[in-house]
Amino acid sequence: MACIHEILSKLKLEGNQSSSSHPTCGTVRPSTNFDAEKDAAALETAIKTKGVDELTIINILTNRSNDQRQDIAFAYQRRTKKDLPSALKGALSGHLETLLLGLMKTPPQYDASELKGAMKGLGTDEDTLIEIICSRDNQELQAIQAAYRELYKTELEKDIVSDTSGDFRKLMVALAKGKRQGESSVVDYEKIDQDARELYEAGVKRKGTDVSKWITIMTERSIPHLQKVFERYKSYSPYDMQESIKKEVKGDLENAFLNLVQCIQNKPLYFADRLYESMKVKY
């Protein structure tokens, strides 16, 4: 656990992204004065050191952007004729190994591997499936599909269909297609009202739930549009959207809809909640 604490303490969390000329993803920034060859040489030495110099490995890999880590892996391969992830796997173990091997994958590769693991063998890890598919945007989902195809020589949608069933399957497949409408500068208040009313009429207002209607609206409309729809929904229903979901559906479908609505309403808060809950787990 000491090494994991070391990793967390070294992560750069800077709020003002506009001051940097580099593209960023959240609070992860590229290292300045980056030298892939120098980093590769330092990693080679750290891995070969008796007992393994874990702190050097942590210091390098957690202070580089994902693109820079890919450059380091290429330089390491060229320098040693060995694959860096394989070298790390042989040198490390436990949670530290899992974490650093995850950092060495591109985001689409990581998501693809997690999805494959969630559907591999007997049973399905629905929570992983839900978290990834409900929280990624069109571009990310299409990149995941491409990575999944390249890594496993099959289609993500095909595996989802094989490992899920019923309305939960329909929701996961609809989301995984990544066909959500893009954002528009025009606010269509008439459409907002129509969608809010249809969500109400398909659920709380009637006996039984028209899940297909919910799926269509929640997987095809743009995020800003749906945020306004959920606000308008409260003028029709005595319950907000999340409360309505809890009353209308159960099991994996309920969990998926709740995750989806939370992501639509506030994705940073969604991930903050996920991190908080994951750190409450007792091992």
Q: What is the pLDDT of residues 233-276, one digit of tens each?
A: 999 999 999 999 999 999 999 999 999 999 999 999 999 999 99
- Mean pLDDT, residues 2-16: 49
Which pLDDT value is given to residue 7? 53
Distance CA 116, CA 224 (A): 31
- With b meaning 16 or more CB within 10 Å and e meaning fewer, what string describes 262-280? bbbbeeeebeeeeeeeeee
pLDDT digits 0-9 by tens, 160-199: 999 999 999 999 999 999 999 998 888 999 999 999 999 9
CA within 13 Å, CB half, 199:
34
28 vs 41: CA distance, rounded Å: 23
Within a 10 A sphere around the Cβ of 76, how many other Cβ atoms? 24
pLDDT tens, residue by residue, 120-151: 877 889 999 999 999 999 999 999 999 999 99
Identify whether the C-beta of residue 87 lies closer than 8 Å to the C-beta of residue 76.
Answer: yes
Three-class SS state of 11: coil
Phi-psi region of 81 (alpha: psi -120 to 50; beta: other; left: phi over 0): left
Domains of the chain, start order: 2-11+30-103 (1.10.220.10), 107-176 (1.10.220.10), 189-278 (1.10.220.10)
Q: What angle do CA 268, 273, 277 make, to 5 degrees?
A: 150
Predicted pLDDT of residue 126? 96
Q: Which two tokens stand for residue 116?
A: 């494959």
Q: How confident is the model at residue 12 (pLDDT cuts 50, 70, 90)?
A: very low
What's the confidence (pLDDT) of residue 280? 84
**CA atoms of 261 and 242, how far apart (whole Å):** 7
CA distance 175 to 197: 22
Q: Over 50: is that where the pLDDT of 14 sits?
A: no
Q: 162: which 2 tokens? A: 């094989």
pLDDT in tens, 25-43: 556 789 999 999 999 999 9
What local confidence, expressed as pLDDT, does residue 128 receive? 96
The structure tokens listed for 187 are 């606010």
pTM: 0.86
SS3 assignment, position 136? coil
Helical ranges in the chain per DSSP H? 2-10, 36-48, 54-61, 66-80, 84-91, 94-103, 107-119, 126-135, 138-152, 156-163, 166-176, 189-201, 211-220, 223-233, 241-248, 251-265, 267-278
Per-residue confidence (pLDDT) for residue 123, from 0 to 100: 80
Q: How many CB atoms lie within 10 A of CB 156?
A: 25
